[in-house]
Structure 1
């Protein structure tokens, strides 16, 4: 038996500094995503004054633009050649525009006409999303270039998701406090949201520039570069569709994030108009109800994140995911049973949900580098950019689907926009029931669907190890 047949990839551990620096990039992406997931729907209906149905259409139109720009940016980042590499330059070029687009998203146009409002919201959504694409796709495509190891990628993703959850925690707690402080002081909710957008848009710029200056890309051979640049985009997309593990990964990823965004987008409505009975300024422990519930959920998520990374190492990624999501689905069913004024009950369920929410953050992301290497084994090319472009589109498409469902349901069941400046407002019973169904039974059904995809996911740790061995042999022969 030849020596090459015994070759195994040498395990290299990433430094703590590399993991922290790279992980910090998710602060930039998550702060944008968290604010949009949780507060954008209620911002459009209650602050901008847009009818829920029109708000849903504006978001869908913006997402159709995603269908074009995400794969194109992914392809572009695969083909760019600079002295800094092919991914990092995008972080330098687009960090500041991204921060500005972030802030613009939370500006309410001064129009009375509903269609002009919808057009303005659509354009702001598209611009902010374009800049988000130009930083997030190259950022995520760095993952498989930093380490080839199955478990190190899970660890790297764990650090990224740690910052993701911290950003989610800070934005979810701080944003409603800033907005409600503005309202109490006599300012408008709009002014509060402008402050939120400017603050977190500015903070989002810093980690992207840090990664540019700290993280290094692996060198690529001229053969790799020629192969990537010679392959037509249509063939690359066809190859991606033929990647069976990638199909399962994308289905799981889509169901995972539709559920997360559906629940996140419904929470402000559920807390304000059901749990608090229409009291828009209700406070718990000196904070707004939104801040306490979301903060508790996300604090628990951060604390249990290492457990899920450890469990995926002991079992497998899909097994750990199945356990976590099944538990979360049961919690969502219990949420439907909450009655108005049951603050303690909602806090207990927020704690239990937090145990599983970190599973939804870390494990679906950590399987994408593995399916990319399955593609490399088949094609001989590394095409992280196009895969992460598709992944990024699916992430944003999932959020748009979730918000579309929420907003269309509110429109259909009679949701009313509260008058400006009011601090107490109740919704029709039909709208409140729709909100409860969205956050409870529908969320549980979607979670169980994601569990089904994880159960049948074909790329196990053992199969991935074999892929790594075969890739190492191929590289050895080429040398």
Structure 2
């Protein structure tokens, strides 16, 4: 067998359990921080720091817009990184500790002035700057990590299984972060210190798994990088300018469908998780612990269903699994809109139903991206995982920013009343409660239906992917013979 063919066979081998576990652990830290920020940061701004909801939403938007700028940049730079550790691991090694430090700094409430207006703007700029710095290091850690997926294996179903481990840790991290929050709510008697403790504990627990991932995949990544460099030396490929790479990526029609599917799924996820605290506390009249338990119910279900959906995908296909999950999720969102105060048991049932769909939002779009990358390789002769994963992560963060910003603006327009830690909770006007109900039900349901329509049109089936890999293998063998 030729050297190129050897490399191709090596890339398609099954992964060991320790490698899968180590790879999955790489998403634990980013999941912990992302989940805590989504669930608690907006309500921390409005109910602890005392920032107006419109201004609070703007803080999140500014940070994420900057984050959107650095995603494709880090993706392209990681594609071009030259190191014996491969293209991705050096970014994770150097970004891990600052990632934890700046996450913690987001939960401090400095005081800039006794004048409320001046203090509001001081807090605004403090949180904007810390958010920008945190998101820079989040990207340094998370984006190269996500780009490891197609580098570790080329097997169609093995990638879905690999993503199952990744998102098991991801959802597990989200659940762990909320369990920690529940423990802190109960053990720390000073409510004003709850989020500071959450930030500190989660910062430490987010950094350590990054280095578990690096150590666990290190040997395989080094071996694959050596193979990749040998293939490039034998078959040099002309570098394509960055803007032209973007043009090629966005002329890849399946990639556009995946972008749409992913954006719709995550916009619904982020909007729902952001609004749940307001829905449970202000509309249902329940406590912090109850809304945390409701989110845990969603995420535990999503975690358990990951492996069920992964097996179902091998038999039914990715699109069919996505449709099944989304259908249950849409029903759950409409049910939440119709829910009445006092129907706590039904609320948990609907949360579990939503978890069935949230699981497919994690699993399916990410398992589609490696297929798109191989189609691009067939068309261009280059593998640009960083570019494609950069835009996927960019869209995830844009969906988060857009969701948080719109929630903040909607609360502001509806007359939502903010509070400061230690003060009695205000009674919200009917207009604010109505806005909260619409944001928890019909609006995310509509977005999910649009995502289902795009999934129906997605063209890469298992058979199409097998044909792509066959053409790539034939090309590699032809090049080695020449």
> Which secondary structure does the structure 1 equivalent of 2:314 belong to?
helix
- What residue number does 1:211 align with? 213
Q: Which residue of structure 1 aligns with residue 434 of structure 2? A: 433
Q: Deviations over 1:320-368 (max 9, x none)?
A: 1111111100110011111112211111111222222211111111111
Structure 1 runs (4+) deviating above 4 angstroms are: 8-11, 225-229
Q: Residue 251 of structure 2 corresponds to which residue in structure 1?
A: 242
Work out whether 1:81 is the aligned partner of 2:82.
Answer: yes
Q: TM-score, normalised by structure 1?
A: 0.92
Deviation at 1:418, TM superposition (A): 2.2
1:262 aligns with 2:271: yes
Q: 2:30 touches 2:138 (CA, 8 Å); kept in 1?
A: yes
Distance in 1 separating the partners of 2:443 and 2:71 = 29
Contact 1:79/1:228, CA 8 A, preserved across alignment: no
Give the secondary-structure state (helix, strand or coil) at the position aligned to 1:340: coil
1:192 is aligned to: 194
Task: Name the structure 2 match of 1:372.
Answer: 373
Structure 1 match to 2:451: 450
The answer as to whether partners of 1:158 and 1:305 remain within 8 angstroms in 2 is yes
Could you give the per-residue CA deviations for residues 250-287 of structure 1, whole angstroms, max 9, x where no partner exists?
111111101000000000000000112xx546xxxxxx
Q: CA deviation at 1:314?
A: 0.7
Q: Given that residues 102 and 197 in structure 1 are in contact (C-alpha distance below 8 angstroms), is that contact kept between their aligned partners in structure 2?
A: yes
Aligned to 2:409: 408
Residues 192 and 399 of structure 1: CA distance in aligned 2, closer, same or farther (over 3 Å) = same
1:117 partnered with 2:123: yes
CA shift, 1:9, in A, is 5.9
Q: Distance in 1 between matches of 2:83 and 2:302?
A: 39
Residue 149 of structure 1 corresponds to which residue in structure 2? 155
Secondary structure of 1:367's aligned partner: helix
1: distance between equivalents of 2:130 and 2:94?
A: 20
Deviation at 1:373, TM superposition (A): 0.7
Q: Which moved more, 1:346-355 or 1:158-167?
A: 346-355
User: Alpha carbon RMSD of aligned pairs, Å?
Assistant: 2.0
Q: Work out whether residues 80 and 86 of structure 1, in 8 Å CA contact, stay in contact via their aligned partners in 2.
A: yes
In the other structure, the counterpart of 2:179 is 173
Report if the CA contact (8 A) 2:237-2:381 is conserved. no
Q: Does the CA contact (< 8 Å) of 1:176 and 1:290 recur in 2?
A: no
- CA distance in 2 between counterparts of 1:330 and 1:268 reads 20
What residue number does 1:232 align with?
Answer: 241
1:337 equivalent in alignment to 2:346: no
| Residues 321, 363 of structure 1: 8 Å contact kept | yes
SS where residue 415 of structure 1 aligns? coil
1:433-479, Cα deviation, whole Å (9 max, x unpaired): 10010001111111111111111111111111110111111111122
Cα distance in structure 2, aligned partners of 1:378 and 1:32 = 37
TM-score, reference length from structure 2? 0.92
SS at 2:458 equivalent: coil
Change beyond 3 A, Cα 1:229–1:107: farther
> Which residue is 2:229 aligned to?
221
Higher deviation after alignment, 340-349 or 225-234: 225-234
Which structure 2 segments of 5+ residues have no match? none
Look up the match of 1:302.
Answer: 303
Distance 1:280 1:289 in 2: 5
Alignment partner of 1:336: what SS?
helix
Structure 1: how far apart are the matches of 2:320 and 2:313?
A: 7
Distance in 2 between residues matched to 1:419 and 1:200, nearest whole Å = 23
Shift in alpha-carbon separation, 1:161–1:269, aligned structure 2, 3 A: same
Give the Cα separation in 1 of the matches to 2:9 and 2:276. Answer: 46
Describe the SS at the equivalent of 2:27.
helix
Distance in 2 between the 1:176 and 1:364 partners?
A: 31
Q: Contact between 2:305 and 2:356, CA under 8 Å: does it hold in 1?
A: yes
Counterparts of 1:81 and 1:127 in 2: how far apart (Å)? 25
CA distance in 2, matches of 1:177, 1:433: 32
- Is the CA contact 2:50–2:420 (under 8 Å) kept in the aligned structure 1? no
When structure 1 is superposed on structure 2, of 86-95 and 350-359 the one drifting more is 350-359
Maintained 8 Å contact 2:65/2:401: no
Moved more, 156-165 or 222-231: 222-231
Q: Measure, in 2, the Cα distance between the counterparts of 1:418 and 1:176.
A: 21
| Equivalent position SS for 1:50 | coil
For residues 458 and 109 of structure 1, what CA distance do their matches in structure 2 show?
A: 52
Once the two structures are TM-superposed, the CA of residue 53 in structure 1 deviates from its matched residue by: 1.0
For the 8 Å contact 1:28–1:204, the answer to whether it is kept is yes
Secondary structure of 1:221's partner? helix
Give CA deviations for 1:4-48 in whole Å, capped at 9, x if unaligned: 9xxx96852111111111001111111111111211111111112
- The answer on whether the counterparts of 1:173 and 1:294 sit within 8 Å (CA) in structure 2 is no
Conserved 8 A contact 1:280-1:424: no
CA contact (8 A) 1:173 1:290 kept: no
- Map of 1:126 onto structure 2: 132
Aligned length, in residue pairs: 462
Q: What SS does the corresponding residue of 1:48 show, helix, strand or coil?
A: coil
